[in-house]
Structure 1
Amino acid sequence: MVVYAGAMALDITGPIEVFDTANRLLGPSGTPYRTDFVSADAPLVRMSSGVVMEAAPLEAGRGPIDTLLVPGGWSLNDALGDQSLVSWISRAAARSRRVASVCGGSFLLAEAGLLDGRRATTHWAYSEAMACRYPQVTVDAEPIFVWDGPFVTAAGVSTGIDMALALVEADHGSALALETARFLVLFLKRHGGQSQYSAVLDAQLADHPPIRAAQEWILKNLDNPLPVAEIARQANMSQRNFARVFRREVGVTPGQYVERTRIARARELLETTDLTIGQIAGRCGFAATETFFRSFGRTLGLTPKEYRHRFQVISPAGLIDRHHEREGSTA
Structure 2
Amino acid sequence: MDDRVVLVVAYDGVELLDVACVTSCLDIANRIGASPPYKVVLLSLGAHAVTCDSGLQLQAHDALERFNEPFDTLVVSGGLGHERAAADPRLVGHVRRLAALARRVTSACTGATVLAESGLLNGRRATTHWMYADRLAANYPEIQVDADPIYIRDGRVATSGGVTSALDLTLSFIEEDHGEALARGVAMGTVAYLQRPGGQSQMSMFVATRLSGDLLVRRIRDHIHSHLATDLTTPALARFAGVSERHLSRLFLTHVQSTPAQYVRGVRTEAAAQLLVSAEAPLAAVARQCGFGSTESLRQAFLDRYGVPPSTYRRQQAG
TM-score by length of 1: 0.77
1:207 aligned to 2:208?
no
Structure 1 residues not aligned, in runs of 5+: 313-331
- Other-structure match for 2:225: 219
- Other-structure match for 2:144: 137
Cα distance change on mapping 1:296 and 1:199 into 2, 3 Å = closer
How far apart in 1 are the matches of 2:242 and 2:114?
Answer: 45
Give the superposition deviation at 1:292.
0.4
1:79 aligned to 2:85?
yes
Give the superposition deviation at 1:170.
1.7
Give the superposition deviation at 1:62.
2.9
1:46 aligned to 2:28?
no
The Cα offsets for residues 238-270 of structure 1, whole Å up to 9 and x where unpaired, read as 545543553343233333222211111112222
Equivalent residue runs for 1:107-256 within 5 Å: 107-124=113-130, 126-127=132-133, 130=136, 136-143=143-150, 145-181=151-187, 184=189, 186-193=191-198, 195=200, 200-204=205-209, 205-232=211-238, 234=240, 238-240=244-246, 242-256=248-262
Q: 1:297 aligns with which of 293, 299, 303?
A: 303
Give the superposition deviation at 1:132.
5.9
Give the superposition deviation at 1:20.
3.7
How far apart in 2 are the matches of 1:245 and 1:94?
Answer: 50
How far apart in 1 are the matches of 2:264 and 2:137?
Answer: 22
Give the superposition deviation at 1:206.
2.0
Question: For residue 73 of structure 2, what is the amino acid of its counterpart?
Answer: T
How far apart in 2 are the matches of 1:175 and 1:84?
Answer: 40
Cα distance change on mapping 1:24 and 1:224 into 2, 3 Å = closer
Checking the alignment, whether the CA contact within 8 Å between 1:198 and 1:264 is kept in structure 2 is no
Question: For residue 183 of structure 2, what is the amino acid of its counterpart?
Answer: A
Structure 2 residues not aligned, in runs of 5+: 1-7
Give the superposition deviation at 1:31.
3.9
Cα distance change on mapping 1:37 and 1:274 into 2, 3 Å = closer
Checking the alignment, whether the CA contact within 8 Å between 2:136 and 2:145 is kept in structure 1 is no
Deviates more, 1:259-268 or 1:302-311: 302-311
Q: 1:18 aligns with which of 25, 33, 36?
A: 25
Equivalent residue runs for 1:274-313 within 5 Å: 274-311=280-317
Cα distance change on mapping 1:283 and 1:126 into 2, 3 Å = farther
- Other-structure match for 1:321: none
Checking the alignment, whether the CA contact within 8 Å between 1:222 and 1:262 is kept in structure 2 is yes
1:2 aligned to 2:9?
yes
How far apart in 2 are the matches of 1:137 and 1:280?
Answer: 35
Give the superposition deviation at 1:4.
0.6
The Cα offsets for residues 189-229 of structure 1, whole Å up to 9 and x where unpaired, read as 32434746775443344223443343333324322343334
- Other-structure match for 1:329: none
1:34 aligned to 2:39?
yes
TM-score by length of 2: 0.79
- Secondary structure of residue in 1 paired with 2:59: strand
The Cα offsets for residues 142-187 of structure 1, whole Å up to 9 and x where unpaired, read as 43x32221122223333323322321222233344344445x3645
Checking the alignment, whether the CA contact within 8 Å between 1:193 and 1:301 is kept in structure 2 is no
- Other-structure match for 1:269: 275
The Cα offsets for residues 25-57 of structure 1, whole Å up to 9 and x where unpaired, read as 557xx5443333322363222223313222433
- Secondary structure of residue in 2 paired with 1:67: strand
- Other-structure match for 1:260: 266
How far apart in 1 are the matches of 2:86 and 2:253?
Answer: 30
The Cα offsets for residues 268-303 of structure 1, whole Å up to 9 and x where unpaired, read as 222333433212212222111111011113212333
- Other-structure match for 1:326: none
How far apart in 2 are the matches of 1:242 and 1:80?
Answer: 44
Checking the alignment, whether the CA contact within 8 Å between 2:9 and 2:44 is kept in structure 1 is yes
Deviates more, 1:250-259 or 1:112-121: 112-121
Cα distance change on mapping 1:20 and 1:75 into 2, 3 Å = same
CA RMSD of superposed structures (Å): 3.4
Cα distance change on mapping 1:188 and 1:66 into 2, 3 Å = same
Q: What is the percentage of aligned positions where both structures have the same residue?
A: 34
Give the superposition deviation at 1:3.
0.5
